[in-house]
Amino acid sequence: MRFLLYPFSLVYGFIVAVRNFLFDWNVFKSKSYNIPIICVGNITAGGTGKTPHTEYLLELLSDKKTAVVSRGYGRKTSGLLLVETNSESEKVGDEPLQIKQKFPNTIIVVSGNRRIGIEKILDSYRETEVIIMDDGFQHRWIEAGMYIALNNYENPIYSDQIIPMGKLRESKSALRRANIIITTKCADITPTEKKGIISRLNTFALQKNYFSSITYQNLKSVFTDKEIDNPENYNITLVTSISNADNLKQYLQKNENTVHHLSFPDHHNFTPKDIANILLEYKTSISDKNIILTTEKDKVKLLKYKEHFEGIKLYFSPIEINIDNSEEFNNEITNYVTKHKRKR
């Protein structure tokens, strides 16, 4: 039945193509700023790992005064908001709150209009040296100095279709705007596979291609300092509201854990009824190695129900991004930031 969506994909793709044409020919004007701006985005609707790659950049640029501008997808508010460590995810979005709690000294602003967000940072936080625009690849009213586009290895751009037939926000040719393309969620792939991916992405000579993978870290207790290293033979109630939790499930099951997965829509805001169902599933097991496990993004939303989890073993699974040829990649980023140092 997917063929019934084809006309809608044609219409959507035509509208996006016209919009891009108007930007390319300066009918619509992009605005640039006298500060290094790194845009981390994609041409796919979710699932490529923008937030962990943004956090990678924050770690890399930890010696700089770095700010993040995000749309705050999934929030129930509008306008511009400054994210604090104690903000509510419903107001600022789960991913910006995750970043703020992980990097409390970083200025995080959510704004549907990224121009307003950037200008707020430039006016109110004059010490800022770098701005990262999270999920801003389609926000062409701003001209970033460096564009990083993410391509999901498990659902690559070249095998996808335009919305609503597929998950592409715009055509594959939009990749020409990227300075760097990172194919994410790669496990152990061979040099030959990498060459094949680069060939199918059809990138230009000046564009750089990198590959990244995920490493799962020790499970961490949400409420204490306790960690679980290499969990084995646990009874796990896995609670996620992310686009795809298959890799996490496979990692857990590989170590002989029993996993009961409660999957919610991406960016879902948990309700008291959800919490009751989570606890009901958890309490069906009497195992001494019985835990509730969630993602780092979902942890910030479950904290709202802290009193419901009193005495419950609630953990989250941090991840670490590994980039092949990381020294070269890191130099690309730091050289760009140094070369385009903010003029005061």
Report which residue type is found at 198.
I
The number of residues making up the chain comes to: 344
The pLDDT of residue 285: 82
Res 309 pLDDT > 90: yes
Query: What's the whole-number mean pLDDT along residues 193-219?
Result: 95
The CATH number assigned to the domain with range 2-64+129-215+322-339 reads 3.40.50
pLDDT in tens, 242-274: 988 999 999 999 989 999 999 999 999 999 999
Q: What CA–CA distance (Å, rounded) separates 130 from 138?
A: 20
The pLDDT of residue 287: 81
The pLDDT of residue 290: 95
pLDDT in tens, 208-218: 999 999 999 99
The pLDDT of residue 24: 95
The percent of residues in the chain predicted with pLDDT above 70, rounded, is 99
Res 9 pLDDT > 80: yes
DSSP state of 31: B
The pLDDT of residue 1: 64
Query: What's the whole-number mean pLDDT along residues 286-300?
Result: 93
Res 344 pLDDT > 70: no
Query: For the ranges 122-126, 132-136, 188-192, 285-289, which has the lowest average pLDDT?
Result: 285-289
The percent of residues in the chain predicted with pLDDT above 90, rounded, is 89
Which residue, chain included where needed, has tokens 């005064």? Answer: 65
Domain range list for the chain: 2-64+129-215+322-339, 218-317
The pLDDT of residue 286: 79
Res 46 pLDDT > 90: no
Res 166 pLDDT > 80: yes
The pLDDT of residue 107: 98
Q: How confident is the model at residue 68 (pLDDT cuts 50, 70, 90)?
A: very high
Q: What CA–CA distance (Å, rounded) separates 306 from 37?
A: 37
- Within this chain, domains 2-64+129-215+322-339 and 218-317 share the same CATH topology: yes
**Architecture of the 218-317 domain:** 3-Layer(aba) Sandwich (3.40)
What is the helix, strand, coil percentage profile of the chain, to 5? 35, 25, 40
Res 230 pLDDT > 90: no
Q: Where are the beta strands (DSSP E) in the chain?
A: 37-41, 66-70, 81-82, 107-110, 130-134, 146-152, 180-184, 208-216, 219-221, 227-228, 235-240, 258-263, 290-295, 314-317, 319-323
> Does an H or E element contain 98, and which?
helix 94-102
Res 7 pLDDT > 90: no
pLDDT in tens, 22-45: 999 999 999 999 999 999 999 998
DSSP state of 268: P
Query: What's the whole-number mean pLDDT along residues 183-208?
Result: 93
Query: What's the whole-number mean pLDDT along residues 304-320?
Result: 95
- Among 175, 166, 139, CA closest to 10: 166
pLDDT in tens, 111-143: 999 999 999 999 999 999 999 999 999 999 999
Kindly give the interhelix angle for 50-60 and 326-339, rounded to the nearest 10 degrees.
70
- The verdict on whether omega for the bond into residue 164 sits within 30 degrees of 0, i.e. cis, is yes
Res 2 pLDDT > 80: no
Query: What's the whole-number mean pLDDT along residues 286-304?
Result: 93
